[in-house]
């Protein structure tokens, strides 16, 4: 167990734009009172903190000269134990320049464990807002860990009423009920302008804020050419970020939102990324807009990595490990790369022949943090080392990826005990993965590290910050024999597209007696909960871990998208929804929990005989789905149990301002700590407010 090693940190930071390290110590005299603001500087993105350690924290801000000058700016950083700044422990002047976009990352050590601190920055006579943060408890301290888990905050698709709700509730809560930190699971920004449309599929149509202003993503400084109008593209005319200036522009825009800014000023964030910090459904350095097998975008990946590093406070280089398995994370270091097509999967899917590997190595973000004895947070990077999704060929009538084909392609050359078929059985299509390695989400190096951490951790709970869900989301379409469609997956970008590695990791947990693993996840834009079973197709699926999938803050939720997509096909539309007494019913939840036939019969018979068709084998372990939801998750871990709450807010397209969006429902779950040889169980949902369909 090591604390932050400041000397090696300083060495590592030498020459790293915008990054500094200081040691806290009580100051001889209180800092002078604030003088008059002179209006020469401002802090338009506020302040933030990240990655709390028992004795350290990363502080963040960005300053700009009001006259737009791009010169160096002297910035004073102050940290105090009290909000009146009379108990100052850090008072330092640092210089930030254009090379970090005038962002500051300040790694502070020498702090006391389990303590709230206040911080602020000043340039000339102008002060930032005050931030509040806290350190982690000592590694051997007992006590709960309380956090929110959050993802997917498209700026143009809705407002941040969920953040405002969380803030208002936390400010009103008793101190021992307040959350300690925010676990951010990805899609902090979306890399697109114009990914928003009206009922007639016209885009972009900007939402209107309460003050009448438009919630608009302005044109990028650079930006791609407008996307073409094609059958698959629901967003003709949209553009995407292509340069460092574009990604910086997005972070600045997103952080201009007062609710998000207030959240970053109140809680430390512990962050990983998902796809949209770079590109939709990305893998390694490839984007997938016009070719699902991936287009090269090495230089864009480097730009996205740099902007994330500049705007998201995270302790990477020097992050202390709570056990014998070292953290390998490191800060961003620029590398010049060329965009070149994928040359082949290589041994481990990480293409070694182009600048792919070089671009990925500019930063490493997977790491662990410890919250006392109770929790170890293990953050993985599910994008940088990932193999391309095993997309089956287009087959007549089969719009969604068939499970059996995904399984075959995912196994690559290991399929059929090492004798993979040349053709995909039952089709006239070649097996494009016949000679490929097995699919991987984590890549071999990260996977080995992840397994070592799971084995080494003696925390009561292992909280896996896992940007993509592992719960099965399968559609048993073969139960509708008249359609001639095979059982399919809702998508293959997540773990459902990587079934062999998914099973490998869960089997590893079982075989090594690793218990009390809770996967906290996002990306899919709906709430779900359940146990993770090793093989969903097994006769007796074995649960070995637990997952809570939190929906997005503001990104469009699943149900309306599925409802829209299924219009014009009466069977699929009936599976998705039917008209209830107060609007469309989220029958899709039932399809996920009990199978498509159950959902169809429910639609067509008003539920009189639907239960007779209940298919418990469709998605083993899946306990809860709220497919029409925006909001967030809250989790409290005590020594003996975890309590999770999935919060669904009212329509996020309405600007509720700082008072926050009303809550439609909360769904509460309890998991008791389990021992080797025992199976985890998820108790719940217990609702407040209107229960989700079909849980009434």
List of residues contacting Fe ion (CB under 5 A): 152, 187, 555
Q: Which two tokens stand for residue 45?
A: 């993105």
526 within 8 A of 551, measured Cβ to Cβ: yes
Residue 473 or residue 695: which is nearer to Fe ion going by CB? 473
d(CA 72, CA 306): 19
Residue 187 or residue 476: which is nearer to Fe ion going by CB? 187
Residue 384 or residue 555: which is nearer to Fe ion going by CB? 555
DSSP H or E stretch at residue 601: helix 596-605
What residue spans of 335-456 are helical by DSSP H? 356-360, 403-411, 415-418, 444-456
d(CA 517, CA 534): 13
d(CA 671, CA 668): 10
Identify the burial level of 511 via C-beta atoms within 10 angstroms of its C-beta, where 0-12 means exposed, 13-18 middle and 19 or more buried: exposed
β-strand pairing of 461-465 with 517-521? parallel
Least gap, CB of 119 to Fe ion (angstroms): 30
Q: Which two tokens stand for residue 405?
A: 């084909």
Residue 52 or residue 186: which is nearer to Fe ion going by CB? 186
Among residues 466, 334, 596, the alpha carbon closest in space to that of 588 is found at: 596
d(CA 151, CA 187): 6
Residue 190 or residue 449: which is nearer to Fe ion going by CB? 190
Cα–Cα distances (Å) from 319 to 53, 115, 149, 322, 327, in that order, read: 9, 19, 21, 10, 6
Residue 117 or residue 188: which is nearer to Fe ion going by CB? 188
184 within 8 A of 270, measured Cβ to Cβ: yes
Residue 152 or residue 297: which is nearer to Fe ion going by CB? 152
Least gap, CB of 609 to Fe ion (angstroms): 37
Using omega within 30 degrees of 0 as the cis cutoff, is the peptide bond preceding 396 cis?
A: no
Least gap, CB of 146 to Fe ion (angstroms): 24
Residue 374 or residue 555: which is nearer to Fe ion going by CB? 555
Least gap, CB of 342 to Fe ion (angstroms): 25
Dihedral sign, Cα of residue 156, residue 169, residue 640, residue 324: positive
Residue 180 or residue 187: which is nearer to Fe ion going by CB? 187
Residue with tokens 């995904």: 406
What's the residue count for the chain?
A: 696
Residue 165 or residue 524: which is nearer to Fe ion going by CB? 524
Cα–Cα distances (Å) from 587 to 201, 369, 572, 651, in that order, read: 24, 40, 11, 19
Residue 187 or residue 287: which is nearer to Fe ion going by CB? 187
| Phi, psi torsion values for 212, nearest 5 degrees | 90, -10
d(CA 454, CA 121): 39
Q: Which two tokens stand for residue 538?
A: 């097994």
Residue 521 or residue 574: which is nearer to Fe ion going by CB? 521
Residue 191 or residue 376: which is nearer to Fe ion going by CB? 191
Least gap, CB of 187 to Fe ion (angstroms): 4
Least gap, CB of 547 to Fe ion (angstroms): 17
Identify the burial level of 14 via C-beta atoms within 10 angstroms of its C-beta, where 0-12 means exposed, 13-18 middle and 19 or more buried: exposed
d(CA 310, CA 186): 16
- Contacting residues for 53 by C-beta, under 8 A, at least 6 apart: 3, 4, 109, 135, 136, 315, 320, 369
Q: Which residues pair with 283 in a beta bridge?
A: 286
Q: Which two tokens stand for residue 637?
A: 């871990």
Least gap, CB of 154 to Fe ion (angstroms): 7
Per DSSP (E only), the strands in 341-408 are 367-371, 375-379
Least gap, CB of 673 to Fe ion (angstroms): 31
Least gap, CB of 564 to Fe ion (angstroms): 17
Least gap, CB of 552 to Fe ion (angstroms): 6
Helices (H) and strands (E) in the chain, counts: 14, 35
Least gap, CB of 664 to Fe ion (angstroms): 20
| Alpha-carbon dihedral 127, 132, 136, 138, rounded to 10 degrees | 80
Residue 496 or residue 598: which is nearer to Fe ion going by CB? 496
Least gap, CB of 190 to Fe ion (angstroms): 7
Q: Which residues pair with 375 in a beta bridge?
A: 371, 461
Degrees, nearest 5: CA angle 673-674-677: 170
Least gap, CB of 439 to Fe ion (angstroms): 22
Cα–Cα distances (Å) from 60 to 77, 96, 258, 396, 408, in that order, read: 10, 12, 16, 53, 46
Least gap, CB of 521 to Fe ion (angstroms): 11
Residue 152 or residue 600: which is nearer to Fe ion going by CB? 152
Residue 187 or residue 331: which is nearer to Fe ion going by CB? 187
Q: Which residue is nearest to Fe ion (CB)?
A: 152
Least gap, CB of 186 to Fe ion (angstroms): 7
d(CA 303, CA 311): 12
Least gap, CB of 63 to Fe ion (angstroms): 30
């Amino acid at each position: 167990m090591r604390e932050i090693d400041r000397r090696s940190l300083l060495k590592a930071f030498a020459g790293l734009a915008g990054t500094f390290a200081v040691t806290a110590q009580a100051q001889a005299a209180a800092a002078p009172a604030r003088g008059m603001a002179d209006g020469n500087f401002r802090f338009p993105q506020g302040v933030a903190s990240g990655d709390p350690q028992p004795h350290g924290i990363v502080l963040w801000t960005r300053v700009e000269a009001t006259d737009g000058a791009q010169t160096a700016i002297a910035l004073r950083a102050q940290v105090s134990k009290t909000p009146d700044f009379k108990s100052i422990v850090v008072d330092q002047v640092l210089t930030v320049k254009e090379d970090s976009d005038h962002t500051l990352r300040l790694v502070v050590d020498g702090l006391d464990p389990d303590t709230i601190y206040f911080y602020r920055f000043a340039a000339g006579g102008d002060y930032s807002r005050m931030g509040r943060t806290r350190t982690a408890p000592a590694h051997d301290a007992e006590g709960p860990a309380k956090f929110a888990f959050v993802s997917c905050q498209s700026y143009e698709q809705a407002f941040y009423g969920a953040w405002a709700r969380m803030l208002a509730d936390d400010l009103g809560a008793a101190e021992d009920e307040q959350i300690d930190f925010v676990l951010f699971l990805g899609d902090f920004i979306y890399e697109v302008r114009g990914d928003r449309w009206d009922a007639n599929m016209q885009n972009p149509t900007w939402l209107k804020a309460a003050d009448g202003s438009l919630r608009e993503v302005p044109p990028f400084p650079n930006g791609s050419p407008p996307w073409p109008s094609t059958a698959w593209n629901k967003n003709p005319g949209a553009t995407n970020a292509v340069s460092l200036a574009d990604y910086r522009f997005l972070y600045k825009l997103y952080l201009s939102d007062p609710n998000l800014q207030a959240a970053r000023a109140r809680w430390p964030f512990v962050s990983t990324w998902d796809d949209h910090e770079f590109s939709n459904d990305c893998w390694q350095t490839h984007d997938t807009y016009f070719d699902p097998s991936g287009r090269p975008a090495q230089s864009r990946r480097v730009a996205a990595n740099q902007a994330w590093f500049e705007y998201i406070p995270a302790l990477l280089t020097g992050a202390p490990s709570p056990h014998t398995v070292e953290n390998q994370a490191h800060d961003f270091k620029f590398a010049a790369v060329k965009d070149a097509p994928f040359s082949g999967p290589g041994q481990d899917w990480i293409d070694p022949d182009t600048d792919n590997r070089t671009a990925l190595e500019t930063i490493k973000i997977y790491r662990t943090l410890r919250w006392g004895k109770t929790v170890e947070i293990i953050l993985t990077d599910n994008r940088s080392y990932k193999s391309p999704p095993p997309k089956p060929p287009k087959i007549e009538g089969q719009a969604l990826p068939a499970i059996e084909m995904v399984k075959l392609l995912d196994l690559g050359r290991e399929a059929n005990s090492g004798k993979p078929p040349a053709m995909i059985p039952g089709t006239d299509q070649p097996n494009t993965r016949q000679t490929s390695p097995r699919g991987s989400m984590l890549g071999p190096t990260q996977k080995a590290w992840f397994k070592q951490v799971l084995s080494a951790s003696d925390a009561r709970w292992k909280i896996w910050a896992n940007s993509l869900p592992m719960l099965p989301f399968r559609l048993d379409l073969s139960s509708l024999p008249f359609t001639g469609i095979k059982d399919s997956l809702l998508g293959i970008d997540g773990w459902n597209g990587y079934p062999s590695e998914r099973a490998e990791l869960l089997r590893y947990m079982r075989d090594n007696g690793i218990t009390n693993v809770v996967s906290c996840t996002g990306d899919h834009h709906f709430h779900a909960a359940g146990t993770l079973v090793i093989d969903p197709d097994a006769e007796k699926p074995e649960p070995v871990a637990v997952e809570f999938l939190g929906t997005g803050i503001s990104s469009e939720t699943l149900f309306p998208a599925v409802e829209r997509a299924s219009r014009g096909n009466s069977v699929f539309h009936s599976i998705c929804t039917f008209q209830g007494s107060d609007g469309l019913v989220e029958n899709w939840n039932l399809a996920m929990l009990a199978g498509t036939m159950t959902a169809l019969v429910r639609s067509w018979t008003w539920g009189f005989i639907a239960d007779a068709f209940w298919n418990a084998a469709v998605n083993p372990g899946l306990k809860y789905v709220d497919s029409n939801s925006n909001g967030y998750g809250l989790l409290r871990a005590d020594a003996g149990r975890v309590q999770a709450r999935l919060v669904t807010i009212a329509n996020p397209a309405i600007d509720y301002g700082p008072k926050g969006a009303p809550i439609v429902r909360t769904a509460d779950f309890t998991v008791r700590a389990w021992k080797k040889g025992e199976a985890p169980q998820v108790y719940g949902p217990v609702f407040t407010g209107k229960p989700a369909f079909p849980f009434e």
